[in-house]
Amino acid sequence: MKRWITVLAIAWMSAPLQVWPQAIKTGMTFSTRQTPVHDPVLIKQGHTYYLFGTGRGISVFSSKDLQTWKKEKPVFEQPPAWAAAAVPGYEGHAWAPDISYYKGLYYLLYSVSTFGKNNSCVGMAVNTTLDPTDPAFEWEDKGMIIRSVAGSDHWNAIDPNLVLHEKGKPWLCFGSFWNGIQLVALASDLKPAGGVKTIASRCTGQPGADSVTAGGAIEAPFVFRKNGYYYLFVSWDYCCKGRDSNYKVVVGRSRKITGPYVDKKGQPMAQNGGSLLIGGNGSEWMGIGHNAVFTDTDGTDYFVAHGYDEGESKLWIRKLRWATDGWPLLEGVSL
C-alpha cells in the first residue's frame, strides 16, 4: 500500500488519484472482475473463501466459488483506541491486512498509518472463526506488534505479512518505501524477538538514507514457502493513479527465510533485485500489484492482487504455476 512521501504527494496533487473502494452495503455481491478491493489477502475456512482488504475498519468479502463475492461487515466498527492514540490523524481506515491460521486461531494483522509518514504501527486481532454466523465469531484486538517512528526509523511499519518457518517459528515481513522491506523474528505471542533486517530495497543513496532522497518505490511483501524455497513477492512503482498506475510485482527467492533473496539473474533483492512476474498491459489492466498467495484445499496455488482498469482498484486472481526451474508463472500471462 503506497504511503506517499511528501515530495511525491505534492507532485501528484494534480493527477487523478485513486479513490479507495467506496463504502458499500453489507450483503452486496460482485463478480471477481468488479469486486472493489485494495491490497487483498485470501484464506479459506470450510467451503468459504474470505477476502480481507484495505478499508474503514478493514474490508471483508466472502465467496463460495472465487467468482462471486459478498460484502461482509468490516472487522472493526470503531478504530481501536490504542491505534488512534499511537498515530495522530488515524481515523480507522486500516491498510493492507494479512490473515493467517496459527495455533488454532485466525490472526489478522493490519496497518495503522497516515499518508506520507512513517509514524506507523502494525496491529493484530484474533478470532476463533471467520464465519460471521457462528455464535463464537468475535474479533478480539490484541494491540500493536511493532511501530516505526519518523526521524528515528528508516523503515515503515506497514504492509505486514506473517511468515511461518518450515519448523513453525513465526516471522514478520513488512515495509513500504523508505529503506524497503524488513524482516523480524517473532516470539510465540507474535511480538518481536530480535532486530529488524532489510531483505529487499530499491534505495540508491547512502546506507541509512530514506526514500525521500534515495528513491525506492517498493512495498507489499509476501513470503510464500514452496519446494524448499522461500519466495519473496514485492510490489514496485506506483499504485493509486487509475489508468496512470504502473504498479507491478517482482519476485526473488532464498533457501533461508532470512535471505539473501535473489532474482533469476542472481541479483540480491536487497540491492534493487527482482524478477518481473506481472505488471499492467497498457490496455485491459494498468498497474497490478500488492499481491498475496493462497493455497486451496486441493493444492492449487492462487495469486491474488488488485489491478486498475479505470479509476478504481478491482480484484485480480490467477492460478499460480511453477516452472521446471522452480520460478512462479501466472496462468494465462506471458511476459
Looking at 98, 141, 153, 219, which residue is catalytic?
219
Residue 335 lies in a domain: no
pLDDT of 34 higher than 50: yes
What's the rounded mean pLDDT across residues 298-302?
97
Q: Which domain does 148 fall in, by range?
A: 6-330
Active site residue 72: no
- The listed range with the strongest mean pLDDT (10-14, 128-132, 303-307) is 128-132
Number of domains in the chain: 1
What's the rounded Cα separation, in Å, for the pair 147 and 10?
26
Active site residue 153: no
Residue 20 lies in a domain: yes
Looking at 39, 159, 210, 237, which residue is catalytic?
39
Q: What is the CATH number of the domain that holds 231?
A: 2.115.10.20
Contact 80, 103 (CB under 8 A): no
Strand partners, 126: 107, 140
In tens, the pLDDT along 110-165 reads: 999 887 788 899 999 999 999 999 999 999 999 999 999 988 888 999 999 999 98
Instruction: Give residue 23's pLDDT.
Output: 65
What's the rounded mean pLDDT across residues 204-215?
52
Residue 1 lies in a domain: no
Instruction: Give residue 231's pLDDT.
Output: 98
What's the rounded Cα separation, in Å, for the pair 42 and 58?
13
| Number of neighbouring beta carbons within 10 Å of residue 295 | 14
pLDDT of 32 higher than 80: yes
pLDDT of 55 higher than 70: yes
Average pLDDT value for the chain: 87
